[in-house]
């Protein structure tokens, strides 16, 4: 990756017009921290008038979609942002993880069947659905293998998902008023697992540094008692996946890393217009209905995510000590108002989208204890 030039101005960019305050402020906090680490100036939040014709290094909250959007922001390649770019919206959602029911099934413009062929061996059983008419047949096909999980493709942090254990239960979903809109926008139907551990595997490219990591994420209860993202524990190295695999890792973790690598390569091959300097993958490992253990990539994140603050903290550690081989970092999100733990770095404290309070912070520990 080309180095980030010293003249670049680091700018936060909240892509969604109605983004909640915690997303906007987290974005600004990480962009400011990143600017400090990279030795660049922080230019605040993106302003098309103020930042027109400036050489920017952008930290967007979402994957950039479409050539016009990237051009408007001055983003030409992965060296211009910490995040990613796709030509069509569905490419940066969980929709690409699975193939379609058959070649007659509805698909969005730009759909590449090559991707699901390449990743079939590293994902769970599942199908992507883009029309109400294809939904029931797809569910019927998958329910032969046990319970399935219904996942709207634009939902995040585990919200909006349902477990379906029978065709009758699925028919109840189809009977809802919003069903047509839901399935037209896109839904993933995927094998449901029990006793799940969700691994996070990824890479971040900053200027002349490559960080690679593995770890796990966990859920917490929000103010309404719903299970949502609660944080990530990451083990980060300076270098590529080969350097990460040289550490003392369990076989489950090594499998997750190798599955993420296949998924990552398939994206580059099937969607050649795509690029990203942050590439994060969630891999679920658990027990299937037949009693066998399964492991598969659930989805990708080519944008600022829950673990981003931990990655920035790792970058800070490696800049402070370039000889350091590896570091353990954790990002935490809690909906309980509490004092900051000792040695923690606060990222955000204030109201949340669905709750009155949210605290986000990071902790750093040495690799060898």
pLDDT tens for residues 12-44?
A: 999 988 889 999 999 999 999 999 999 999 999
The answer to whether the CB of 339 falls within 8 A of the CB of 241 is no
Predicted pLDDT of residue 158? 63
Instruction: Give the model's pLDDT for residue 223.
Output: 87
Fold classification of 93-122+125-192 is Dna Ligase; domain 1 (3.30.1490)
Contact 80, 57 (CB under 8 A): yes
At 53, is the pLDDT very low, low, confident or very high (cuts 50, 70, 90)? confident
CATH topology of domain 195-366: D-amino Acid Aminotransferase; Chain A, domain 1 (3.30.470)
pLDDT tens sequence across 181-236: 999 999 999 999 999 999 999 999 998 899 999 999 888 998 888 888 899 999 99
Judged on CB neighbours under 10 Å (0-12, 13-18, 19+), 95 is buried
Q: Is the distance from CB of 83 to CB of 64 less than 8 angstroms? A: yes
H or E stretch including 136? helix 132-143
- Residue 2 pLDDT more than 70? no
368: tokens are 């060898």
pLDDT tens digits, residue range 139-196?
999 999 999 999 999 987 667 899 999 999 999 999 999 999 999 999 999 999 999 9
pLDDT tens-place string over residues 315-366: 999 999 999 999 999 999 999 999 999 999 999 999 998 789 999 999 999 9
Judge whether 151 and 299 are in contact, CB under 8 Å: no
- Residue 217, CA atoms < 13 Å, CB-side half-sphere: 28
Report the chain's mean pLDDT, rounded to a whole number: 94
pLDDT, mean of residues 79-85? 97
Give the mean pLDDT of 60-85.
Answer: 96
DSSP state of 290: T
Identify the band that residue 4 occupies on the pLDDT scale cut at 50, 70 and 90: very low
Parse the chain into domains and list their residue ranges: 9-88, 93-122+125-192, 195-366
The pLDDT value given to residue 157: 62
Quickly count: other Cβ atoms within 10 Å of residue 77's Cβ: 12
Domain 93-122+125-192 identical in fold to domain 195-366: no
CA distance 305 to 123: 21
CB 195 within 8 A of CB 286: yes
For residue 307, is pLDDT > 60?
yes
- Count of C-beta atoms within a 10 Å radius of residue 167: 12
Q: Using an 8 Å Cβ cutoff, are 346 and 361 in contact?
A: yes
- Residue-level pLDDT at 116: 96
CB 131 within 8 A of CB 186: no
The Cα 212–Cα 349 span in angstroms is 28
Q: How far apart are CA 146 and CA 148, in angstroms?
A: 7
Q: Would you state the structure tokens that stand for residue 207, as one six-digit string?
A: 């200027």
Q: What is the pLDDT of residue 17?
A: 85
Six-digit token string for 36: 């400090």
Residue 75 neighbours by CB under 8 Å, 6+ apart = 56, 58, 64, 81, 85
């Amino acid at each position: 990756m080309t180095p980030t030039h010293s003249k670049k101005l680091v700018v936060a960019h909240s892509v969604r017009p109605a983004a909640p305050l915690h997303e906007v402020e987290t974005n600004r906090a990480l962009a400011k921290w990143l600017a400090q680490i990279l030795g660049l100036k922080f230019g605040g939040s993106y302003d098309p008038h103020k930042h027109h014709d400036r050489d920017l290094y952008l930290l967007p909250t979402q994957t950039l979609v479409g050539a016009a959007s990237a051009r408007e922001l001055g983003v030409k390649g992965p060296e211009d942002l910490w995040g990613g770019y796709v030509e069509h919206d569905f490419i940066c959602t969980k929709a690409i993880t699975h193939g379609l029911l058959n070649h007659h099934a509805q698909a969005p413009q730009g759909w590449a069947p090559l991707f699901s062929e390449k990743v079939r061996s590293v994902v769970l059983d599942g199908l992507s659905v883009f029309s109400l008419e294809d939904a029931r047949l797809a569910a019927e096909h998958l329910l032969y293998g046990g319970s399935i999980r219904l996942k709207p493709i634009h939902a995040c942090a585990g919200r909006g998902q349902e477990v379906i254990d029978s065709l009758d239960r699925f028919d109840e979903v189809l009977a809802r008023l919003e069903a047509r809109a839901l399935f037209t926008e896109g839904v993933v139907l995927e094998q449901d697992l029990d006793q799940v551990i969700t691994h996070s595997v990824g890479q971040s490219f900053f200027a002349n540094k490559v960080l690679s990591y593995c770890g796990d994420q966990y859920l917490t209860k929000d103010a309404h008692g719903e299970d949502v993202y609660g944080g990530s524990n990451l083990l980060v190295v300076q270098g590529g996946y080969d350097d990460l695999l040289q550490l003392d890792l369990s076989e489950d973790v090594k499998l997750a890393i190798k599955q993420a690598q296949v998924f990552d390569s398939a994206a580059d091959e099937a969607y050649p217009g795509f690029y990203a300097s942050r590439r994060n993958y969630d891999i679920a490992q658990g027990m299937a209905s037949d009693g066998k253990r399964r492991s598969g990539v659930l989805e990708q994140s080519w944008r600022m995510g829950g673990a981003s603050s931990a990655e920035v903290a790792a970058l800070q550690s490696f800049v402070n000590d370039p000889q350091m081989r590896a570091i353990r970092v954790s990002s935490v999100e809690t909906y309980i108002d509490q004092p900051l733990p000792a040695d923690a770095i606060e990222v955000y404290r204030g109201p949340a989208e669905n709750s009155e309070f949210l605290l986000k912070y990071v902790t750093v520990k040495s690799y060898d204890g």
